Structure 1
Amino acid sequence: MSSLVVLAFDDVNGAERMRDKMYDFQKRELIKLEDAAVVVRDEKGHAKVKQAHSLVGAGALGGAFWGMLIGLLFLAPWAGLIAGSAAGALSGKFGDIGIDDSFIKNVSEAIEPGDSALFLLAREARLERIREDLDGVEFEIIETNLSPEEEDQLRETFAAEEIAG
């Protein structure tokens, strides 16, 4: 079973610092990463996504997955009905693969302008042990589990998006 995990930080550099620490956690077998991305929201609320290719192997989902998820989380409210219908379509797509609305709502509320987050698709994550090792580092953990079937659906959906794109 995989987990979609978001580590949210109240500064723009926290996610990149944590990304660098993930190398050590992987070596110590505290987490197995399938894919990862750093998201930084500037003061105007715009999100910049950097996929963490160096942390993951060939099984990574790719830019289509992260782009759509981040787009859903941070759709500009001024986009009106177009954003509403797009958000509904995206939300439905993510709901079909086990990423529920409450997870999406919690993540979008946790990452405000001026914040950053490390998004992880992880297997065998020992988050409590990681939290202990990071005593003194302030961050919020938001996660949702994906069954093997949901993970397969996620890979099939976004592999098709990459090919179509």
Structure 2
Amino acid sequence: MSKLAVIAYDDQFKAEEVRTKLRRLQQDHLIDLEQALVAVKDDQGEVTLLRMSKPAVEVEAHKGFWNTLVGAIVMEPTLGMASDARSGAIRGALAGAGVDEDFLKDLAATFQNGSSVLFVLIRHASPEQVLAALQGTGGKVLETNLTHQEEAKLQAALKVARAAG
């Protein structure tokens, strides 16, 4: 089963920078990314989605999940009102994929103008090397299906400043 990690950044360019690091780690066979999506909200509130390209066959397997997640990102103000039938459908689909209401609230609160969010599905990783590469990149873990211990290690690595090298 793939591991999901959703990390929010206060900087609109940081999620893409971290995704680039993960792609380099993938080239070095230290991580196997199934999918990586970056959502950026610029200073005017415009949302841009940056997807890692994959062959159509691979993308098709998670197309419904990613489309629903993208819908939640783009419709985030509507989701907050909870009166729209479409927002209810998006909530239901995300809940079916293991994404809960608390995550949507955290996403809405965190995804402000001038910020970015990184969504990754990971098939396999060498945890120590990946955590070392992500050390000090900042960010807040919003959602994950990692164990509590793995999630705590990830959040700690994001916050810890890199040692002067």
TM-score normalised per structure 2: 0.69
Is this contact kept in 2: 1:49–1:67, CA < 8 A?
Answer: no
The aligned counterpart of 1:121 is 121
List 4+ stretches of structure 1 deviating above 6 A.
Answer: 78-83
Unaligned runs of 5+ in 2: 147-165
Aligned partners of 1:40 and 1:116: how far apart in 2?
Answer: 4
1:60 partner letter = V
1:96 partner letter = G
Is this contact kept in 1: 2:21–2:133, CA < 8 A?
Answer: no
Cα shift at 1:130? 2.5
Q: Secondary structure at the match of 2:11?
A: coil
Unaligned runs of 5+ in 1: 147-165
The aligned counterpart of 2:58 is 59
Choose 91-100 or 26-35, whichever is displaced more. 26-35
Residue by residue, what CA displacement relative to the aligned partner does 1:84-137 show, whole Å, maximum 9, x if unpaired?
A: 321111111121232222233323322221101221111224566433323332
Choose 14-23 or 72-81, whichever is displaced more. 72-81
How many matched pairs?
144
Cα shift at 1:74? 4.4
Cα shift at 1:8? 1.7
1:45 partner letter = G
The aligned counterpart of 1:162 is none
Is this contact kept in 2: 1:35–1:59, CA < 8 A?
Answer: no
Let me know the Cα RMSD of the aligned residues: 2.9
Q: Secondary structure at the match of 2:120?
A: strand
Give matches, 1:6-155, under 5 Å: 6-53=6-53, 56-57=54-55, 58-61=57-60, 65-75=65-75, 77=77, 84-125=84-125, 129-145=129-145
Q: Secondary structure at the match of 2:117?
A: strand
Aligned partners of 2:112 and 2:48: how far apart in 1?
Answer: 13
2:105 partner letter = K
* Percent of aligned pairs with the same amino acid: 33
